[in-house]
Amino acid sequence: MSALSPAPLPRVGVVVLTQGTRPDDLDRGIRSVLAQEGVELDVVCVGNGWQPAGLPAGVTALALPTNLGIPAGRNRGVAHVSGEYLFFLDDDASIPDPRFLADAIAMLRADPSLGLLQPQVVDPTGVASPRRWIPRIRKGEASHSGNVFSVWEGAVVLPRAVFDATGGWAEPFFYAHEGIELAWRVWDQGRRAWYAGNLVANHPVIQPTRHADYYRLNARNRVWLARRNLPAPFVPFYVGSWTGIQMVRWARNRPALRAWFAGWREGWTSDPGGRRPLSARTIWRMTRAGRPPVI
């Protein structure tokens, strides 16, 4: 390559996940990806129990015969894309800035300690964004960047090598808390999960309780998260702290609390899948960064 030859564009494997129930949103999201500048794209649309149809040119369709759940659907898509970086996008999310991926990759390259980026999430209609979209205990301003120990999973960028080292999304979870496990395992690679308040993804404000099994899976996966990832002495402290939080949060919502405790019991009595405890060094790094894994 001559000295005047331009550097090759970074290649990004993009996994868009859908069940085919939001065709307009899906089209908007995919086209926002295809509009990205300064990157080379390899895009797959994963139909979780659906045959993707009507996709723009250049997008690969991957049909899964049944709905395998959100984490497994994303993992299946990874095998069908190439690239040094991965970008996961849900079908109800989109990227308003055509430089989003180029800017995200520039951040990752400028600071090798970063292993994952979650952008600020904004409702495109102007509805106030819920605080849960800022994955920090001390929320602060949505535009403020910083270390995080969980991520909103709808739009996530990370180097493929880091993703592979984490073992991927937690397939047994089906839905809920897979973003916590992924962030923890990024930290376990000696990297940091980062909330990038200067980057923006669009997503409508929708209550997570719209999912019929929200309370049950929320509790089951919270227990599984601890059993899969924490050293044994930390497991009861983590689960116990969250049990106390939910009892206070839903004390006046008895049906929700009953469903939550049904999932809690399921978390202890069912198989969470492979166990891979965080190292003592990782726990110390997380503690120094402000979030020991006990809450």
Could you read off the pLDDT of 217-228 as tens digits, one per residue?
A: 999 999 999 999
Structure tokens at 201: 């993804």
pLDDT surpasses 80 at 153: yes
φ, ψ at 45 (rounded to 5°): -105, 115
Whole-Å CA distances, 194 to 135, 229, 231 = 10, 20, 24
User: pLDDT value at position 94?
Assistant: 98
How far apart are alpha carbons 145 and 115 in whole angstroms? Answer: 14
Average pLDDT of every residue of the chain: 94
Could you give the 3-state DSSP secondary structure of residue 241?
helix
pLDDT band at 294; cut points 50, 70, 90: confident
pLDDT surpasses 70 at 160: yes
pLDDT surpasses 60 at 209: no
User: pLDDT value at position 229?
Assistant: 98
Nearest Cα residue to 153 out of 176, 124, 130: 176
pLDDT (mean) for 272-294: 94
How far apart are alpha carbons 171 and 228 in whole angstroms? Answer: 12
How far apart are alpha carbons 75 and 167 in whole angstroms? Answer: 10
pTM (predicted TM-score): 0.95
Nearest Cα residue to 20 out of 40, 38, 3, 45: 45
183 vs 136, more confident: 183
pLDDT (mean) for 142-165: 97
pLDDT band at 207; cut points 50, 70, 90: confident
Structure tokens at 255: 């049906």
User: pLDDT value at position 293?
Assistant: 87
pLDDT surpasses 90 at 132: no
Nearest Cα residue to 18 out of 89, 79, 122, 124: 89
pLDDT surpasses 80 at 28: yes
User: pLDDT value at position 30?
Assistant: 98
Could you read off the pLDDT of 105-129 as tens digits, one per residue?
A: 999 999 999 999 999 999 999 898 8
pLDDT surpasses 90 at 137: no
SS (H, E, C) 125-172: CCCCCCHHHCCCCCCCCCCCCEEECCCCCCEEEEEHHHHHHHCCCCHH
User: pLDDT value at position 139?
Assistant: 87
Count of positions (residues) in the chain? 295
205 vs 52, more confident: 52
Rg (CA), the chain: 19
User: pLDDT value at position 4?
Assistant: 67
pLDDT band at 251; cut points 50, 70, 90: confident
pLDDT surpasses 60 at 66: yes
How far apart are alpha carbons 73 and 172 in whole angstroms? Answer: 11
Q: For CA atoms 254, 260, 265, 266, give the dihedral sign.
A: positive
Whole-Å CA distances, 19 to 25, 47, 62, 74, 76 = 12, 5, 11, 12, 14
* DSSP-derived pairing of the beta strands 146-148 and 114-122: unpaired
pLDDT band at 148; cut points 50, 70, 90: very high
Residue 251 bridge partners (DSSP): none
pLDDT band at 250; cut points 50, 70, 90: confident
pLDDT (mean) for 168-174: 97
Structural domain 11-206, CATH architecture: Alpha-Beta Complex (3.90)
Could you give the 3-state DSSP secondary structure of residue 183?
helix
